[in-house]
Amino acid sequence: MSESKSTNIVWHQGTVERPQREILNRHRGFTIWFTGLSGSGKSTVSVALEERLHGMGCRTYRLDGDNVRSGLNRDLAFSPEDRIENIRRIGEVAKLFRDAGVINLTAFISPYRRDREMARALSSDNDFVEVYVDAPLDVCEQRDPKGLYKRARAGSIPNFTGISAPYEPPEEAEIHIRTGESSVDECVEQIVAYLLANDYIESGLVETAGDG
């Protein structure tokens, strides 16, 4: 999979490319890649962060199990090779959204460093922000919003991350949030502060965008 099987391709340079789309949006396209255990708070924080960014006038989109697993990746199950392909496709779609000038938030366990690095390798400098959503396993298991840990402990879900399959925490994530200690709002503000401080977004956007 390191080389394209597709041939007969000639590049067609369009007039509207990423820079033009980003100028219209008044912000760059980039990816905020959440990673963490099931129940760590990836979905909750990404939903709240999208609401915050949208309120600032940013063009946003959230990729998560709901819209990806039921559509693009519906042919994939949870075998090791299907999990890799799952993350590979998500990384490629995230790249398309960056190219579209959209701030895209991905919320997947993405337990393996190698797979996350594969997704990052598709990005340019500084348009991939990894967020480690850190919560102790026992906290995640107590939350168990989908009842998955219970089923995994009962043996009815094989290869469940944290129980019967490993989770490899990021070693150099751009942002590290601790949902067992901080509220959702605090986590969102921590991420927004990082994005502002590193010029991913501007605080003044909200005044000019989205108003008639």
Q: How many secondary structure helices (H) and strands (E) does the chain include?
A: 9, 5
Q: Is the dihedral of CA 107, 108, 112, 118 positive or negative?
A: negative
Size, binding site for a second copy by CB under 8 A: 67
Tell me if residue 156 falls in helix, strand or coil. Answer: coil
Query: Known catalytic residue: 182?
Result: no
**97, exposed or middle or buried, with CB in 10 Å at 0-12, 13-18, 19+?**
buried
Q: Within 13 Å and on the Cβ side, how many CA atoms surround 206?
A: 7
- Does position 118 interact with a second copy (CB under 8 A)? The reply is no
x/- track of binding to a second copy for residues 157-176 (CB under 8 A): x-------------------
Residues numbered 30-49 forming contacts with a second copy, rule: CB under 8 A: 43-44, 47-48
**Nearer to a second copy among residue 36 and residue 101 (C-beta):** 101
- Does position 72 interact with a second copy (CB under 8 A)? The reply is yes
Please, what is the minimum distance in Å from the beta carbon of residue 22 to a second copy?
11
Which residue among 70, 110, 123, 203 is the active-site one? Answer: 110
Beta-carbon contacts of 80 under 8 Å, excluding residues fewer than 6 positions away, are: 159
- CA-derived radius of gyration, the chain: 18
Residue 131's identity, in one-letter code, is V
Q: Does 41 carry a binding-site annotation?
A: yes
- Does position 106 interact with a second copy (CB under 8 A)? The reply is no
Q: Does 43 carry a binding-site annotation?
A: yes
- Does position 61 interact with a second copy (CB under 8 A)? The reply is yes
> CA-CA distance, 98 to 101, in Å (whole number)?
5
* b/e sequence 162-194, b meaning 16+ C-beta within 10 Å: bbebebeebeebbbebbbeebeeeebbebbbeb
Q: Which of 27, 95, 116, 143 binds a second copy (CB under 8 A)?
A: 95
- Does position 187 interact with a second copy (CB under 8 A)? The reply is no
- Does position 20 interact with a second copy (CB under 8 A)? The reply is yes
- Does position 8 interact with a second copy (CB under 8 A)? The reply is yes
**Which residues carry out catalysis?**
110
- Chain residues that interact with a second copy, rule: CB under 8 A: 1, 3-6, 8-12, 14-16, 20-21, 23-26, 43-44, 47-48, 50-51, 54, 57, 59-78, 85, 89, 92-93, 95-97, 99-102, 122, 145-146, 148, 157, 208-210, 212
